Chain A
Amino acid sequence: MQNISLHNYQDFLLRYIDEELDLREIEALLAFVALHPAIAEELESLQLTKLDIEVISCPNKAVLYKNIFPVILEPETIVYPYKQKLFKKEKEKAPVVLLKWWAVGAAAVFLFMMVRYGMLDQKAGSTVSKNSISKNKDAKESPIAVVKNNAPTNNSTINNPDANTGSMGATKVVAVIKNNTSNAMEYAAAQKIQHQTIPTASTVTAHETVQNIPSYNGDIIDVKPTIIAEITVPSMPENDETTETIETIDTEAASSNRSVMVGAFEIDKDKFRGFFRKANALFKNKENNRNEK
């Protein structure tokens, strides 16, 4: 740095006014000025020559802009009137139930067992219905009411002592109603059979007992659900109508209406429906548990 002296101080003063000195030069100059009051007055007079900054606006500035003017857009609130129509609601997707392999296997086994035992029960039922014609013990276990016209026999004894009817001859009418009738339809069918058979027997009794069956006392056979009544009626060769009526009530036909053939298997409709109801209830319970979580 050049030393400030009485020969060069003016250059330092002017550079100080022009703000061209660094900090060390400023400090040195101010120290020098402090030592020389005359130079301090000269510094003040030079400071008067410095122009104060004025703010002067160019009057026609707009003509200087080219093409694009710096326009600031004020925020404007515009509401779309039909906004409600634009809202969409996503449809709820049906829950996907993932079945595990063991669940599928268990269901298949369960289905197989149901089908198999259902068929066995059905076969057993049909077997019983066939056997119940001749055997009362088997007929007791069968849920089906069976009335069948047997071949005429000469045996006129009363097989069932509870049945308060006398033997009526060669035709044997057997009404078998299971004691524990769980199925209302079966019970109704049995009742229907009862009303169809017994009046026939009583009609036979009313008109023919006096003439042909001296031992028949004329009472109407009271067939209760718990009673296995075996009624022997006299053979009536001309009574074909009664035989036909009884044959139409054969339970094999009724059971065949309830069964469905699936491939080589015969499936009971009611049991099959019950299986699907149980399976549906299981899935619903799972879904409800999941929704609660």
Chain B
Amino acid sequence: MTEKDYNESVLLYADNVYRFIVKNLRHTEDAEDIVQSAFEKLWIHKDNVEPLKAKSYLFTVAYHLLIDHTRKANRITLQESFENDSQTAYQENKALKKVLHDALATLNETQRSLVLLKDYEGYSYEEIGEITKLTTDQVRVYLHRARLKLRNYLISPQQVL
């Protein structure tokens, strides 16, 4: 990958990676840090990355950075802090979307990442498996569990009322 390819990757994939991270973390500053770290890693290894696989490489790096980030320190405290922080919290305009994203928050990082990669980026089971280092069956099973969990949250009596 050349410098030009790298800059094209920034132009094409930075928003996608950021969306993937910010939807997982629900914290913009942490998401920015992870996105920046992901692209920095791409820049360092640009000679070993083919341009066509730059997007997959970026999501793989971002996903692992996300896992590392959430496993650090007190994850629950962090989650509470950005939920209460009005400046950094991701603003949801629509009620249904807010409920859905609240449901996403009930998922673990792996399940949430799988849902985001599937719905936002349109990756197949195989591609998600390459990014998350999971098998195709694992991706399918984890993703199905995440869907059922989201559905149960959405149709729960509290959300209906």
Contact = CB atoms under 8 A, between A and B. Distances in A.
Interface stretch (A57-65, A147-155, A194-202): A57-65
Contact of B32 (A46, A59, A67): A59
Interface string A45-57: 1101111111111
B27 interface: no
Nearest to B146: A49
Interface string B11-36: 10011011100100000100010011
A49 B32 contact: no
Contacts, number: 86
B21 to A, nearest CB: 10
B15 A64 contact: no
The 10 lowest CB-CB distance pairs between A and B, nearest first, are: A51-B119, A58-B18, A49-B150, A56-B19, A14-B144, A58-B14, A64-B10, A64-B39, A61-B14, A49-B147
B22 to A, nearest CB: 6
Contacts of B151: 45-46, 48-49
Interface residues of A, number: 31
Contacts of B108: none
A18 interface: yes
Contacts of A14: 143-144, 147-148
A54 B121 CA distance: 11
Contact of A68 (B7, B18, B122, B140): B7
Interface of A: 11, 14-15, 17-20, 45-46, 48-61, 63-70
10 contacts: A11-B144, A14-B148, A18-B118, A45-B154, A45-B155, A49-B103, A56-B15, A59-B28, A64-B14, A66-B3
B15 A58 contact: yes
Interface in B36-62: 36, 39, 43
Contacts of A59: 28, 32
Contact of B3 (A50, A58, A68): A68
Interface in B66-122: 96-97, 100, 103-104, 115-116, 118-120, 122
A65 to B, nearest CB: 5
A50 B151 CA distance: 10
B125 interface: yes
Contact of B120 (A46, A51, A66, A70): A51
